[in-house]
Copies of this chain bind each other. A is one copy, B any other.
Amino acid sequence: MRKLTLLLLAALIAFPLLADEGMWLFNRPPRQALRQKYNFEPTQAWLDHLQKSSIRFNSGGSGSFLSKDGLALTNHHVGLDCLQKISTEKKDYIRDGYYAKTRADEVKCVDLELNVLMSIEDVTARVNGAVTPEMSAADAQRARRSVMAAIEQESTKSTGLRSDVVTLYQGGEYHLYRYKKYTDVRLVFAPEVSIASFGGDPDNFEYPRYDLDVAFFRAYENDKPAKIDNYLKWSAEGAKDGELVFVSGHPGGTHRLNTVTHLEFFRDLAFSYTLELLRRREVLYSNYAERSAENARRANEELRGWENSRKAYGGMEAGLQDPQIVAAKRAAEQKLRDAIANDPKMAAAYADAWPAVEKALDVYRPILRERSVTNFNSTLFADARDIVRLADELQKPSGERLREFRDSNLESVKQALLADAPVYADLETVKLSDALAHWVEVVGADNPLVRQVLGNQSPQSLAAELVRGTKIGDAKFRQQLVEGGKAAVDASNDPMIRFARQVDPRTREIRTLYEQQVDEPLRQAYAKIAKAGFAVSGGETYPDATFTLRLSYGAVKGYEENGKQIPWATVYSGAFARAAEHGNKTPFDLPKSWLAKKPVVDMKTPFNFVSTVDIIGGNSGSPVVNRAGEFVGIVFDGNLQSLSWDYQFDDRQGRGVSVHARGIMEALKKVYAATPLVNELTK
């Protein structure tokens, strides 16, 4: 009855029903909402334990510790980057899966880095103190960059921890995040990709689902399993229909605070251009992959990435093309602006934020495409450019460098540059050819830099020549240049280094323009809009996502779609039924291991489930925990209706999709007979 009462009350007082919205800061959890709606009060110990059990994967996802010996769980699609880099033509960890029966069998990832958030400190006053109102945007941006680098460097020196100053509320606040960092990470278990991503692109972002989207890794320190104080207890029951659950993870980015003008900018330019780019890449990589099984293996991870983004951006664009969604956003914005206009003090402080956003976007519009194409979508080029820039940037004090080359981040930059991940010359040529052609399309064949770079050659022949001629693919060569510093880089005749040097001035020019005339004014404007929002709405708020640790909450529950009730969970039998429907054909093919164990698995085992937790890309691999803080599942996706959560949360139909703890355990026990792993998880 409580639910009904609440609903009735809400209807009577004409407030919207309190949705399970929010990607909350761990140092500012939604205490009031949890108390009111779920009668739950998290203790500081509960929060600290969950925070320190949570992991950020530098391959773009989240995860959690599940044993005192450094056992870490994430999604298969988050671990994919490692799987791709350790695979070869002869040993394909993605297609075949892997289980390390003993510690000795665990396989070291090439460049996977795990970060665990140890502390948060508000440094807003110090950061903003470095910027004065009379500064130009360019000076403000430089001053801000400089003080942030100083704070980070001091912190790293004093604590030994990775220290990042994080921009929150799009510039409203700055917090210092200190991370414990693990750089020796090894693969323990990955299922075959066909069950990890069962249903492939067609089922991606859809529900019901049947995916074992999990991979286990182990963090090592000094060549031994890392000793972990905070790890999650495995729940034998797993998630239950209707219960309150929490997600602790790293949502990558949202745009909920954005103005309507800014959303229209996404709809009319940024998203449609991004979709154009994503489709271009998807076609390019699909065509390459179709040529042979080995090509398909080489392109696997990147192709999945393009497909995934294309589907996500498609949903995001579709939402903004829905007149009702834009109208709702417009109404909410108007309400805020009216409130500001009616208060002279607020008007003086905040009203100029909206025109400032428009002005920044006017600067951005003409450079958006060029800014995007000049990364040339090439690993060899990216390494060459980073080497060139590293040499240049190290000539300057830390605070004046391009932000990624600040002292506190140098170790990570070098680790990434020197890691020995495979690079395939044929795929590089295909990628660089297309990227050069795209660049020519965007800036024009008569652009002086294009003419200088191409000379007498076509994009295709130049790409082939650069890839054939460069030694950047050789880790030792990269090391020589990195260690040799500016003198070595300047002396290098490597064609890719030369190419990077040719294009870098213009790329930097665009970056400076973007940072000073787009990013900085937007930060300042959104800081005002965020403050105005606090002032008007009062109460608890959360900042837009920033790939930093957040706490979400919600209920495990199904939803209605086209008059049909979609259940809260799927079960094992559904996977077998769906595979059979499709003649077990890719991407609806179950691996042999599953087909063989069909007689022994419990067909009623919950497999995937949905909940109203507020998540977004980057949350992949986030643990789902119950009130007791126990692991009950792992987030791996949202449904199609959740894609517009980028700019507006709505849990009438939108849901996060997770793998159920029992679904994982049943597979480990019955399909994979992974007894030591099971024991480690449950002891």
CB within 8 Å for A291 and B458 given contacts A280-B276, A321-B445, A445-B267: no
Instruction: State whether A268 touches B321 (Cβ < 8 A).
Output: no
Smallest Cβ-Cβ distance to A459: which chain B residue: B321
**Which residues of the other chain, B, contact A422 by a CB distance below 8 angstroms?**
none
1/0 contact string of A265-288 vs chain B (CB within 8 Å): 001100010011001101100110
- Those of A543-567 within 8 Å (CB) of chain B: none
- Cα–Cα distance between A201 and B455 once the two chains are bound (Å): 31
1/0 contact string of A401-440 vs chain B (CB within 8 Å): 0000000000000000000000000000000000001001
- Those of A318-342 within 8 Å (CB) of chain B: 318, 320-324, 326
Instruction: State whether B445 touches A268 (Cβ < 8 A).
Output: yes
CB within 8 Å for A437 and B585 given contacts A202-B287, A276-B276, A280-B276: no
In the complex, whether A587 has a CB less than 8 A from a CB of chain B is yes
- Cα–Cα distance between A267 and B458 once the two chains are bound (Å): 13
Smallest Cβ-Cβ distance to A199: which chain B residue: B291
- Cα–Cα distance between A322 and B471 once the two chains are bound (Å): 26
In the complex, whether A310 has a CB less than 8 A from a CB of chain B is yes
In the complex, whether A457 has a CB less than 8 A from a CB of chain B is yes
**Which residues of the other chain, B, contact A469 by a CB distance below 8 angstroms?**
none
In the complex, whether A87 has a CB less than 8 A from a CB of chain B is no
Chain multiplicity (copies): 2
In the complex, whether A651 has a CB less than 8 A from a CB of chain B is no
Contact of A322 among B202, B320, B458, B582 (CB under 8 A): B458
CB within 8 Å for A318 and B437 given contacts A279-B279, A293-B583, A323-B454: yes
Residue among A321, A324, A460 with most chain B CB within 10 A: A321
Jot down 8 A-B pairs with beta carbons below 8 A, ordered by A: A279-B279, A279-B283, A283-B310, A318-B458, A321-B445, A323-B445, A323-B455, A323-B458
Instruction: State whether B293 touches A445 (Cβ < 8 A).
Output: no
In the complex, whether A606 has a CB less than 8 A from a CB of chain B is no
Instruction: State whether A456 touches B321 (Cβ < 8 A).
Output: no
Smallest Cβ-Cβ distance to A324: which chain B residue: B456
- Those of A506-532 within 8 Å (CB) of chain B: none
In the complex, whether A200 has a CB less than 8 A from a CB of chain B is yes
**Which residues of the other chain, B, contact A96 by a CB distance below 8 angstroms?**
none
**Which residues of the other chain, B, contact A44 by a CB distance below 8 angstroms?**
none
**Which residues of the other chain, B, contact A286 by a CB distance below 8 angstroms?**
286
Residue among A200, A275, A279, A451 with most chain B CB within 10 A: A279
In the A-B complex, the 4 residue pairs with the closest CB atoms = A322-B458, A202-B291, A272-B441, A279-B283
**Which residues of the other chain, B, contact A650 by a CB distance below 8 angstroms?**
none
- Rounded to whole Å, the gap between the CB of A127 and the closest CB of chain B is 37
Instruction: State whether A437 touches B321 (Cβ < 8 A).
Output: yes
Instruction: State whether A445 touches B201 (Cβ < 8 A).
Output: no
- Cα–Cα distance between A280 and B282 once the two chains are bound (Å): 10
In the complex, whether A158 has a CB less than 8 A from a CB of chain B is no
- Cα–Cα distance between A407 and B243 once the two chains are bound (Å): 71
